[in-house]
Amino acid sequence: MNCLEFERLLDEGAADRLPAEALAHARACEACARSLARARSLERELETHFSEAIAAPAGFADRVMVRVERGEARGVRWLALPSAFPWWTRAALEPGVVLALATLALFTWRSDRWLAGARAAWDGLAAAPKWAHDGLLAAGFGPLADLLSRSLASVASASPSVQLGLALGVAPLLLLASWLAWRAGERLVGAVGAR
Ligand SMILES: [Zn+2]
């Protein structure tokens, strides 16, 4: 055992139950013997200071229980974490957030279906210019119709990566759906809590 290890043991508050090895070091090392004496006297001071049992203030238990009941009435919490945890830990475990994340995860998991759906929608849109073109032409918007049909046709024949980019336009819709799920989760929790 060296001085550093000895100091570490003292820092852990083990002045009164040091291993024999540490005591042997303290006998041989003057500096550590002084540290040990200081630590022991500090421990004695603390013990005498806090030895008298301090009674809880009158009505303390009642006040705590009232607060607990009020907290429970505000809603069911799946997991009650002490406030010592950072806010985002507790926020991430809110039922609404969990539901929203699960929704997002579901959409992400089935993203191939989403992309396929988006592509099918684009195929339908690509066919739309045909009749839109005729209609606009009849209404006298020829140049505009040409522009529209050209841009939509280029999208339909674009590379999968471009179509993927367009499908990513669906992302805001996903966010909206997640938000709605979150609101639904909050309302569910409110309903359960009010029961
Ligand atoms: Zn030492």
Give me ligand 1 centre to Cα 146, in Å: 90
Residue 63 confidence (pLDDT)? 86
Q: How far apart are CA 9 and CA 155, in angstroms?
A: 71
Give me ligand 1 centre to Cα 22, in Å: 9
Give me ligand 1 centre to Cα 162, in Å: 71
Q: How far apart are CA 158 and CA 145, in angstroms?
A: 20
Do residues 139 and 116 lie in contact, with contact meaning Cβ atoms separated by under 8 Å? no
Angle, alpha carbons 73-79-84 (nearest 5°): 95
Q: Give pLDDT tens digits along the chain (195 positions).
A: 899 999 888 888 777 788 899 999 999 999 999 999 988 888 888 888 777 666 777 888 888 888 877 776 665 554 555 556 666 666 667 777 777 777 777 777 777 777 777 777 777 766 665 666 666 666 666 666 666 566 666 666 666 766 676 667 767 777 788 888 888 877 777 776 665
Give me ligand 1 centre to Cα 1, in Å: 8
Give me ligand 1 centre to Cα 44, in Å: 22
Report residue 42 as tokens: 């500090």
Rg (CA), the chain: 35
Residue 27 confidence (pLDDT)? 93
Residue 156 confidence (pLDDT)? 64
Give me ligand 1 centre to Cα 138, in Å: 100
Q: Which has the closest alpha carbon to 20: 35, 8, 9? A: 9
